[in-house]
Amino acid sequence: MGAGRRIALNFHGLGAPHAGVEAGERPFWLTPAEFEGIVERVAARPDRERFLFTFDDGNASDLIAVEVLARHGFSGRFYVLTGRLGEAHYLATDDLRRLRGDGMTIGLHGRDHLDWRTLDDAQLDAETSGARRELADLLGAPVDEVAIPFGAYDRRVIARLRRQGFARILTSDRGAFRPHERIWARNTVRRDTAGEEPAHVLESDGSALTRLRRMGSRTVRRYVR
C-alpha cells in the first residue's frame, strides 16, 4: 500500500435486520460478534492507524458499534438520514449528540435514502443542502462530510456536492484514499466478507487491468458525464 493511503471499512447495521430493512440491504448486516472480530483484527495490525470505520443509514445499532470501537481505541464516522432520525430502530437526536461528544464524526447520508442521480435539482438540493441544514441545526455544529447513498453518483452529483462546500465526499468505490483528497473511497463489508483479513480488500483488488478499468470508471463518473 502506498505511503499515506488509508482504508475505509464501511458498515450498515449490527444484529438481526429489523422489518424496515429492505431485502437488498440485509446482506450488509453483521452480527455484533462478526463486527468485533473485524475490529480486533484491525487493532492487532501494526498499521492499524491506516484504517477508518464508517457507518451508513443511522441505525440504532450504531450505538453497539461505538462501544466495540471504544474498547479497542478507535473512533468512527457515522452518516445519517435526517428523515429517519427518531424513528423506531434508528438513532435519535440525543444519540447523535452523545456520539459527537464521545469523539465520533457525524455526517450526512441524505434525508430519505434516495438515488441522487434520479432527482431533479430541487429534489437533490433537499436531499443534500436542505438535509445538511437540518442536521447542523440538530447538532448545533457544522456538517462537513457526506456519504453518497448506495454509492450511486455521477458528475452532476459530485459537482453539486463540491459547490455546496462539503470538505469530504465519501463513496462506495473500493480501494484506498489519501486523507488530503476530497473524495474518499470506501470498502463496504458484507456478511459473506466479514471473516476476511481487513486488508484483503486491497490485496485481492484484482489485476492491474481490473484496477485500471475501475479507475477509469471513477474518473468518468466524477468528471465526464
Domain ranges of the chain: 7-224
Greater confidence (2 vs 177) lies with: 177
Structure confidence at residue 198 (pLDDT): 72
224 pLDDT band, cuts 50/70/90, is: very low
Structure confidence at residue 195 (pLDDT): 83
Structure confidence at residue 199 (pLDDT): 65
Structure confidence at residue 218 (pLDDT): 53
CATH number of the structural domain 7-224: 3.20.20.370
Q: What are phi and psi of 26, to 5 degrees?
A: -65, -35
Q: What is the pLDDT of residues 150-207, one digit of tens each?
A: 999 999 999 999 999 999 999 999 999 999 999 999 999 999 888 877 766 555 444 4
Spatial contact of 132 and 169, defined as CB atoms under 8 Å apart: no
Structure confidence at residue 194 (pLDDT): 83
Q: What is the pLDDT of residues 61-111, one digit of tens each?
A: 999 999 999 999 999 999 999 999 999 999 999 999 999 999 999 999 999
Question: C-alpha distances in angstroms, 132 versus 80, 81, 117, 144, 204?
Answer: 10, 10, 18, 9, 36
- Model confidence at 208: pLDDT above 80: no
Burial readout 92-115 (b: 16 or more C-beta within 10 A, e: otherwise): eeebbeebeeeebbbbbbbbebbe
Q: What is the pLDDT of residues 112-162, one digit of tens each?
A: 999 999 999 999 999 999 999 999 999 999 999 999 999 999 999 999 999
Q: How many CB atoms lie within 10 A of CB 119?
A: 17
Q: How many CB atoms lie within 10 A of CB 217?
A: 11
Structure confidence at residue 197 (pLDDT): 74
Structure confidence at residue 221 (pLDDT): 55
Structure confidence at residue 153 (pLDDT): 98
209 pLDDT band, cuts 50/70/90, is: very low
Q: Distance between CA atoms of 136 and 142, rounded to whole angstroms?
A: 5
Q: What is the pLDDT of residues 210-219, one digit of tens each?
A: 444 444 445 5
Structure confidence at residue 120 (pLDDT): 98
Spatial contact of 90 and 111, defined as CB atoms under 8 Å apart: no
Mean pLDDT on 38-61:
97
